[in-house]
Structure 1
Amino acid sequence: MKSFKGIALLVITNILIMVTLAISANILVYFILPMFGIDVRGSFEARQLMFAAVFGFGGAFISLWMSKWFAKRGYKMQQVTNPTTPKEKLVYNTVKALAEREGIKMPEVWVYWDDVPNAFATGPSRNNSMVAVSSGLATSLSDAELKAVLAHEVGHIANGDMVATTLLQGLMNTMVYFAASIIARFVANAVARDGEPSHMVYFIVDIVLQIMLSILASIVIFAFSRKREFKADAYAADALGADAMISALQKIDALSRQSVEWQQREAREDALATMKIYGAHGGMKGLFATHPTIEDRIAALRNRR
């Protein structure tokens, strides 16, 4: 029942977002822009570009604005405000010290229960963010290693990675929506009967193109994400030393390989290897990876020594 409520809430939220964006786009095109002498109501291309920008950037920034809300509901979390255990004190005080070092508002500190060692940072801005740590990470790493991982996450916040990624996502969304609508309109006109474009053809072509172009756009976004991971590693190395970050990465990699999820994934990849779909460190898998390989991250850290 709890999961059903969560799914229902997510669906309702997305419907409200889409309705809000649609209303905003129409108000912008038909009322606000004409007030400034910009009339795109009769131009299909200009109108579609405006709608694409509103939906592309609007959706991306709404997702960013709600990122903390979604994260807290995606895991069984507990916020750390008055740390009591040694590990809680270590996590809280490390994040606080790094935030003071950067002159940013103290991020919210959360812990969640998961044996898989992991941590992440999210939030709409540098001064409105959160850092979450799994119980598996907190209990498996040494104090120095845990501090390094926390520095990596604060590095994402300090570098403004969430906003930068959202801007890129908005730009890619806009290009996808606009290109798909223009091409779909051309195809619909090409198969028109009695001068009437086929609305069904337009709809089908538009949806298919959006899916295809979104996959291509994601390659750019994932490449940007991998680049930001290297920068966050560099931040951790500058703040606490490269050795601690290298040790943390090695231990996280070793622990992850022991998990059932990792073993199942490896079994699937081995089964596909003979088909040459992708390789472990390159090919299609590398293009759609949000993080660089552990080997590449360690190599980059060692080069900073």
Structure 2
Amino acid sequence: MFKRVSLFLLTNILIVATISIVTSLLGVKPYLTAQGINYESLLIFCLLWGMGGSFISLLISKMMAKMAMGVQIVELNGPYHELVATVHRLAKKAGITKMPEVGIYNSPEVNAFATGPSKNNSLVAVSTGLLEQMNQDEVEGVLAHEVAHAANGDMVTMTLVQGVVNAFVMFFSRVITFAISQALKDEEGRGGLGFFAQTAVIFVLDILFTILSKPIVMWFSRYREYKADAGGAELAGKQKMIAALESLVRYQDRIMTDDSNMGTLKIADKQSIMALFSSHPPLEKRIQALKTSN
């Protein structure tokens, strides 16, 4: 079965690449002057479009998650009323005024995620595998972790980080493309990259630099996991949070068999040989951090 890549990363790559193609095709190059590149204008241009693309990703994150994961929303008066009641109780304790949507997606993996454009417009979803494999305290620990993500505004801060990274990706890809074009011109200033070649080079560099910049975003993602663990411990109790992580350790081999969607939003992610590209710290380190915290 085809393994889908992380929706968060893919969405941002596609948005940045799409904006690059559209702006090139439309000839929108406010940073180019007769004397060359106006670097101040280029930086402003890239910040506007880079942040804009990232915030578009944030605004559609709940819809994309529901579509990609097949999330079914559950209600207080339905068969999963205890799950919804627990999320709402934790959300109120965390100071969230508008209760998150609660959803379930059909998957054997033991996992959960939170997403949404703000803490008062969020979604907390769990897999059927998690509900089948974890006891009530462990499930509460997982839910507390996800509610902490929402309460901490992690979706927004991740968007800001990704937006800034996107802006610099666009900035450097255009500077390098301009330099290549200039280097290919003759002494009389003729030649250089043509329109379609320039568009292609920008497109390729945008994707390349987005991939190369991923470790920066993933470092912040790992940092916020520790913060969400600490927040989950405050909401549900340290022992429940530790129990949830220890339960994930027991099922880690099963989790690691799936490339897993929404990897940057889930409570657990597979370990990678390339640790710099991992969105989550090792579970053992997270457990140890909780045990040694005050």
Does 2:284 align with 1:295? yes
8 Å Cα contact 1:189-1:196 kept in structure 2: no
SS of residue in 1 equivalent to 2:251: helix
SS of residue in 2 equivalent to 1:292: coil
User: TM-score by structure 1 length?
Assistant: 0.76
Give the Å deviation of 1:281: 6.8
Go from structure 1 to structure 2 and tell me whether the alpha carbon gap of 1:150 and 1:287 turns closer, same or farther (over 3 Å shift).
Answer: same
Aligned equivalents of 1:259, 1:217: Cα separation in 2: 26
Equivalent residue pairs, number: 264
Go from structure 1 to structure 2 and tell me whether the alpha carbon gap of 1:141 and 1:290 turns closer, same or farther (over 3 Å shift).
Answer: same
Residue pairs, 1:48-197, within 5 angstroms: 48-85=42-79, 88-104=80-96, 105-193=98-186, 194-197=188-191
SS of residue in 2 equivalent to 1:173: helix
- Summarize deviations over 1:135-184 as a string: whole Å, max 9, x none: 11112111111001000000000000000010010100101111111122
Aligned to 2:251: 255
Residue pairs, 1:1-80, within 5 angstroms: 18=19, 22=23, 42=33, 44-80=38-74
Give the Å deviation of 1:129: 0.6
Go from structure 1 to structure 2 and tell me whether the alpha carbon gap of 1:231 and 1:26 turns closer, same or farther (over 3 Å shift).
Answer: farther
Unpaired segments of 5 or more residues in structure 1? Answer: 1-9, 31-39, 266-279
8 Å Cα contact 2:75-2:81 kept in structure 1: no
Unpaired segments of 5 or more residues in structure 2? Answer: 1-10, 261-269
Give the Å deviation of 1:257: 1.2
Aligned to 2:241: 245
**More RCO (CA 8 Å, sep 6+):** 2
What letter corresponds to residue 133 of structure 2 in structure 1?
S
User: RMSD in angstroms over aligned alpha carbons?
Assistant: 3.2
Go from structure 1 to structure 2 and tell me whether the alpha carbon gap of 1:14 and 1:248 turns closer, same or farther (over 3 Å shift).
Answer: same
Identity of aligned residues (%): 37
Aligned equivalents of 2:118, 2:129: Cα separation in 1: 27
Q: Equivalent of 1:228, from 224, 246, 262?
A: 224
What letter corresponds to residue 212 of structure 1 in structure 2?
L
Q: Equivalent of 1:211, from 193, 198, 207?
A: 207
Aligned equivalents of 1:61, 1:21: Cα separation in 2: 18
Aligned equivalents of 2:73, 2:212: Cα separation in 1: 38
8 Å Cα contact 2:47-2:167 kept in structure 1: yes
- After superposing the two structures, state which structure 1 stretch, 229-238 or 51-60, moved more: 51-60
Aligned equivalents of 2:221, 2:256: Cα separation in 1: 26
